[in-house]
Amino acid sequence: MTSLFAIVDGNNFYASCERVFNPSLEGKPIVVLSNNDGAVIARSNEAKALGVKMGVPAFEIKKLVREHGIQVFSSNYELYGDMSRRVVETLQQFTPNLEVYSIDESFLDLGDFYNTDIQAYARTIKTTVLQWTGIPVAVGVAPTKTLAKVANRLSKKSAKANGVLVLTDKHHIQEALKRTEVGDVWGIGRRYAKKLAAFGVITAWDLSQVTDAFAKKHLTVVGHRTVKELRGEPCIDLEMVPPAKQNICTSRSFPRNLTALTDIEEALATHTVRCATKLRRQKSCAGALTVFLQTSRFAEQGELYFNSHTVRLESPSSSELELLHAAIAALKKIYRNGYRYKKTGIILQDIVPANQVQLSLLSSGNITRDSKLMHTLDNLRERYGHSSVGYGVQGTGKEWEMKKEHISPCYTTKLSDILKVRAR
DNA sequence: TCTGGGGTCCTAGGACCC
DNA sequence: TCTGGGGTCCTAGGACCC
């Protein structure tokens, strides 16, 4: 039995999502901005061609936007998340053995199809996803996940491949690796690429040829796995069921600097409620939490501040009331007067399954009461939206709510938006 | 004036115990 | 009083991913 993996990813996914429901964007340059409309996080091919780089601050491309009519969007995760779900449901028609790797990427185990016309099957996957969802995708197929990633990447660069590349032949794999820079290999980032270059390891092919001892010494056991995968030896399994998260974090930058404790408290309280909701969704409790507070990374020396404080809970909890109480107390420990703060957040840690939590005799009454309340809140928010019920300490959000000046309608999830678009 | 958010894993080193 | 080795646990930092 020979292994075979496909990786299917959406081309310029966020930009493509914006296009699906607004055909007038076809052929135009599009960029999507991060939270607070801060930096570029997605670009259409046309925007890439104009030289818009990933991660540049929005204010740096203002001139380019004006001159070339670049269409600018605030990120709309409600829309992208829903489109992502549609793509995954389509892919599930092709195999149940599927791993949702990120919002725009899925791995498929195609091992059962080894002796069929893989090229044709991969092509069918691509055209079906486009037909059913409107999202253009690329498909890379190979005996390991890492090689499938290589194939996927090259499939977008070659006009002949046109978004579908199957690498099963030994010589084709060698050719592909020689055409791939080591820094473009899945698992090899900028730091490692630089380190490897010093040893004359420039291409993915070079990396596949290093000794096991070299790989372990310089890239740890993780990098060693990558090397073996490049040689065609599968080391990274398909994860069909996502493992429960060990840390859950919610944080945001403020649209402008904040100085008052009350404003920061409001923001942190809102992050805490969100974070606790994520915690309960995976049916877990947290044994500890860390709150952090920081000024802008770009602040001058002397105006820079970063601090965090960790609180251990008496027993693991998923109650917002308890988490809010602990989070606000932690914030007060690290807040200093006089700084201009840019960001706060909360990290839930020591996460355990909710059904494993030992009830301490002292607090068991509260736990029952709280869990009923939390259940009710979760249902209300599910039905009426996240901001439908909250706490006084969350405030009105005036000072810290995200900037979203270029948000598109939630074409698929929000009734009022759907009606608005239909009327236009 | 404006510069994202949310994760994982591994390793080295210190504290502590026997 | 000093000496030695081995094991475990925790934390900080560094690497990576999208």
Model confidence over A332-381: pLDDT tens digits? 999 999 999 999 999 999 999 998 876 655 555 677 788 888 898 888 88
Distance of alpha carbon A389 from alpha carbon A378, whole angstroms: 9
Nucleotide nearest to A102 (CA to C1'): C18
Task: Give the residues of chain A that fall short of pLDDT 50.
Answer: none
Give me the CA A312–C1' B17 separation in Å, rounded.
25
User: Does the nearest atom of strand C lie within 7 Å of A246's Cβ?
Assistant: no
Which residues make Cβ contacts (< 8 Å) with residue A194, sequence separation at least 6? none
pLDDT tens profile A276-295: 999 999 999 999 999 999 99
CA to C1' distance (Å), from A72 to B4:
16
Residue closest to C17, CA→C1'? Answer: A187
Is the CB of A422 less than 7 A from some atom of nucleic acid strand C? no
Q: Which nucleotides of C are covered by protein (CB under 7 A)?
A: 14-18
Kindly determine whether the C-beta of residue A193 is less than 7 Å away from any atom of nucleic acid strand C: yes
Give the residue carrying structure tokens 């791993």: A99
Q: Is A144 in contact with A133 (CB distance < 8 Å)?
A: no
Order of strands across the sheet with A341-353? A248-258, A341-353, A284-295, A306-317
Contact (CB, 8 A) for A73 and A408: yes
Containing A381, the helix (H) or strand (E) segment is helix A364-384
Distance A238 CA to B4 C1' (A): 29
Closest nucleotide to A195 by C1' from CA:
C15
Residue A265 CB contacts under 8 Å (≥ 6 apart), including other chains: A328, A331, A393, A395
What's residue A424's pLDDT?
78
Spatial distance between the Cα atoms of A404 and A36, rounded to a whole number of angstroms? 6
- What is the nearest nucleotide to A101, using C1' and CA? C18
Distance A371 CA to C16 C1' (A): 37
Measured from the CB, is A184 under 7 Å from any atom of strand C?
A: no
User: A102 in helix, strand or coil?
Assistant: strand
Angle at alpha carbon of residue A373, lines to A368 and A377, rounded to 5°: 150
Instruction: Decide: CB of A191 under 7 A of nucleic strand C.
Output: yes
**Nearest residue by alpha-carbon distance to C1' of B6:** A249
Evaluated on CA atoms A97, A101, A102, A106, the torsion sign reads negative
pLDDT for A162 equals: 97
- Residue A327's nearest CA partner among A394, A419, A411, A385 is A394
Which pLDDT belongs to residue A365? 61
Q: Are strands A341-353 and A284-295 parallel, antiparallel or unpaired?
A: antiparallel
% of chain A at pLDDT higher than 70: 98
Measuring alpha carbon to C1', the residue closest to nucleotide B10 is A220
Distance A217 CA to C4 C1' (A): 29
Phi-psi map region of A105: left, alpha, beta (phi>0 left; psi -120 to 50 alpha)? beta
Long-range contacts of A223-226 (CB under 8 A, 24+ apart): A223/A187, A223/A188, A223/A192, A225/A187, A226/A146, A226/A185, A226/A186, A226/A187, A226/A188
Q: What's the full length of chain A, in residues?
A: 424
A160 sits within 7 Å of strand C by its CB: no
Dump strand ranges (E) for A168-305. Answer: 248-258, 284-295
| pTM higher than 0.75 | yes
